[in-house]
Amino acid sequence: MNALRFPDDFVWGAATSAYQVEGATAEDGRGPSVWDTFSATPGKVQNGDTGEPGADQYHRYGEDVELMADLGLGSYRFSISWPRVQPTGAGKPNQKGLDYYRRLVESLLERGIRPATTLFHWDLPQALQDLGGWENRDTAFRFADYAEIVFDALHVRDWLTINEPKTVVDCGYRFGTHAPGVEDDARAFVVCHHLLLAHGLASRVLHERHPGRRIGPALNLHPTYPADDSPEAHEAARWRDGLENRLYLDPIFLGRYPEDTLDWISERGPMRDHIREGDLAAISEPVDLLGVQYYTPIFVDGAGERVFLHPRTQAEWLEVYPEGMYDILVRLTADYPKVPIVITENGLPTLDAPGPDGRVRDEGRISYLRDHLTAVHRAMKAGTAVEGYHVWSLLDNFEWAEGYTQRFGIVYVDYPTQRRIPKDSALWYRDVVKSGELR
Ligand code: GBH
């Protein structure tokens, strides 16, 4: 087969998030977040795991930057822990917290690695949760204030606002599997509106204060398909597409919520009453780059239930379907205004551990990444502007409710010693990055 060549300026990267890798949750004045609370609650996380030790990146960022440089990476997507910067979510910044991110950014820039910085990857200051969290409209304004602090403090060009608002809505407030562990559709969609408002308000702050920089959302998109040919399954796939994709894409890009989805939501709670004049204008603040996170498709039957038709992974929600990457990218170009797209996450967990020779033979990850990158390449040929790709994740880390039982890293972390061991996939990725080619 011919090698697939990516453009010379294609950006190859890897991603992590603060609570998943940093550890050091009680250091240098960091305040508690909702994930500290949630993971300390018995029964919420596998094995009672918490963000300690994570991958101890708070202390080992220097080593990790060297590792990224060795792999030839051009971009590192990480997130800022809001409670490190504002321990109670408001007021004067905690200098020690800000200094950590200054040092991280400087080390990356020295090695020619561009930071792509996420403002919020789920670790809301607990003090704001105590005031209602994302159900409280004021949290969106607090978020814009926090964003202003970090925009001004850090030499970062590219920003992502909220990581996967849908996951906060669904896992945090509908299914209760993530912090804060609520199971209530009525409350969930109020949270949805305030998360989107926060996204828009923070984007506006960046545009006003730092023209020339770029900002956008990081959305986990799930292409939805009918599992069979019945009209019911087609109808259900369309309904599910509203909840998975259009509920987030339409307000951000088109300045309106999808009516069919809003009707369904309104039968369950008061989201509509929380949409004030001017909110949609704020939410549809122009997007400079769109972060796309793709892991899995959702096939639904006539009853609207998810059906699995393809191989699954250790993560039971993750059905392997590279075609979905192509479909979602091409659909974005067809249905929404064209903006530069960057893949901000894509990956899978595997159980591979170091063998007697120390190697981690994660063949399954190599084929997953290769197949998804092939789909990205195909979408680019079909006219979708994709600037870059970040594998989830650089390192094995705290996988939320799964604790340390699922390893998404291209680099293995031996948690007791915190030793980093590049898996075979990391060595494979290094070759792809160096050559700019998939072979
Ligand atoms: C991303 O979420 C996250 O951004 C990242 O932090 C995470 O580590 C990575 O993917 C891998 O999971 O509660 O039963 O519905 C991807 C979307 C949402 C998929 C939560 C798993 C939990 C299953 N994830 N979902 S359930």
Q: Per-residue DSSP letters for 119-187?
A: EESS--BHHHHTTTGGGSTHHHHHHHHHHHHHHHH---SEEEEEE-HHHIIIIIIIS--STT----HHH
Mean pLDDT, rounded, for 50-70: 98
Q: In the 8-state DSSP scheme, what is residue 48?
A: G
Closest CA to 198 of 252, 258, 234: 252
Closest CA to 322 of 296, 350, 292: 296
Residues 148/137, Cβ–Cβ less than 8 Å: no
164 in active site: yes
Q: Which atom of ligand 1 is nearest to the CA of 175?
A: 13
Find the 244 Cα to ligand 1 centroid distance in Å.
Answer: 13
Please give the span between the terminal C-alpha atoms of the chain, in angstroms, as a whole number. Answer: 8
pTM: 0.98
SS3 344: strand
Phi, psi of 114 (to 5 degrees): -80, 130
Which of left, alpha, beta for 358 (phi over 0: left; psi -120 to 50: alpha)? left
Peptide bond into 93 cis (omega under 30): no
Pocket of ligand 1 (CB under 6 A): 17, 20, 163-164, 167, 171, 175, 177, 220, 295, 317, 345, 392, 399, 408
Quick count: other Cβ atoms within 10 Å of Cβ 418?
17
412 vs 418: CA distance, rounded Å: 9
CATH classification (class only), 11-438: alpha beta
Substitution candidate for ligand 1 out of 44, 49, 118, 164 with most atoms within 8 A of CB:
164
Find the 167 Cα to ligand 1 centroid distance in Å.
Answer: 7
Q: How many helices (H) and strands (E) does the chain have?
A: 16, 15
345 in active site: yes
Q: What is the pLDDT of residues 205-263, one digit of tens each?
A: 999 999 999 999 999 999 999 999 999 999 999 999 999 999 999 999 999 999 999 99
Angle between helices 185-209 and 247-254 (to 10 degrees): 30
Please, is 305 exposed, middle or buried when counting C-beta atoms within 10 Å of its C-beta (0-12, 13-18, 19+)?
exposed
Please, is 132 exposed, middle or buried when counting C-beta atoms within 10 Å of its C-beta (0-12, 13-18, 19+)?
middle
Quick count: other Cβ atoms within 10 Å of Cβ 199?
32
Binned at pLDDT 50, 70 and 90, residue 1 comes out as low
Find the 2 Cα to ligand 1 centroid distance in Å.
Answer: 34
Question: How many residues are present in the chain?
Answer: 439
Of 22, 135, 164, 285, which is the active-site residue? Answer: 164
150 vs 322: CA distance, rounded Å: 36
Binned at pLDDT 50, 70 and 90, residue 2 comes out as confident
Give nearest CA residue, ligand 1 atom 19: 317
Helix then strand then coil, in percent of the chain rounded to 5, is 45, 15, 40
Closest CA to 383 of 439, 343, 326: 326
Q: Which atom of ligand 1 is nearest to the CA of 399?
A: 8
Give nearest CA residue, ligand 1 atom 21: 317
Binding-site residue set: 20, 121, 163, 295, 392, 399-400
Dihedral, CA of residue 269, residue 271, residue 273 and residue 279, to nearest 10:
180
Find the 315 Cα to ligand 1 centroid distance in Å.
Answer: 9
Find the 219 Cα to ligand 1 centroid distance in Å.
Answer: 12
For the chain, what percent of residues have pLDDT higher than 90? 99
Mean pLDDT, rounded, for 150-172: 98
Residue 12, beta-bridge partner list: 389
Q: Which atom of ligand 1 is nearest to the CA of 122?
A: 6
Of 135, 244, 285, 345, which is the active-site residue? Answer: 345
Give nearest CA residue, ligand 1 atom 8: 399
Q: Is 320 a residue whose pLDDT tops 80?
A: yes
The tokens describing 317, both together, are: 């929600």
Residue 77, beta-bridge partner list: 15, 116
Mean pLDDT, rounded, for 313-330: 98
326 vs 341: CA distance, rounded Å: 13
Binding-site residue set for substrate: 20, 121, 163, 295, 392, 399-400
Residue 319, beta-bridge partner list: 312
Q: Is 116 a residue whose pLDDT tops 70?
A: yes
Supply the mean pLDDT for the chain: 98
DSSP β-ladder status, 298-300 and 224-226 = parallel
Substitution candidate for ligand 1 out of 392, 395, 408 with most atoms within 8 A of CB:
392
Mean pLDDT, rounded, for 361-389: 98
Find the 250 Cα to ligand 1 centroid distance in Å.
Answer: 22
